[in-house]
Amino acid sequence: MVCWGREGTEQVGGAGLEGVTREVLNANCARGEAQAITVHAPLGDKAEREWLDGAKSTYEDAPLKAQEIGLTDAEVPTYCALSADDLANSTPPGFMQMPWEGTAYQPSHEFTVQLNQLMHDSLCG
């Protein structure tokens, strides 16, 4: 099983697993929806480029706030002292996988580094 953020999914029609009540999802996946994963596959270069382009545009339009990535204001200096590679290497395995219809799409390490760099630059200036 994999959990992912619920925020925003209901606005675009997502509601979780068919036949699984909100109460069960809340108990088993308190911070998001759940899905059984049966296959793992690479995310792929094209999808990674699109995600990075979208993230860059988003962070340029609205710089990150510490709370958006789970940090307190007091933790920001520690975060900003790390390199994007350090941040990517400290990301728990499977954290960046993107589930879709039973497949967990795993981005490359380079994608994770580049995404962390964009977030780092946005928050730390």
pLDDT in 10s for each residue of the chain, 125 residues: 455 555 444 444 444 444 455 666 667 666 666 667 788 899 999 999 999 999 999 999 999 998 888 889 999 999 999 999 999 998 877 778 777 777 888 899 999 999 999 999 999 98
How many Å from the N-terminal Cα to the C-terminal Cα in the chain? Answer: 36
In this prediction, residue 31 carries a pLDDT of 61
Q: Are 58 and 51 in contact (CB under 8 A)?
A: no
- The residues with which 95 forms a beta bridge, in sequence order, are none
Amino acid present at 61:
D
In this prediction, residue 103 carries a pLDDT of 83
Rounded distance between C-alpha atoms, residue 75 and residue 15, angstroms: 33
User: What is the CB neighbour count within 10 angstroms for residue 68?
Assistant: 12
Q: What is the pTM of this model?
A: 0.70
Using CA atoms, how far residue 31 sits from 73, 76, 86, 87, in Å, is 22, 23, 25, 22
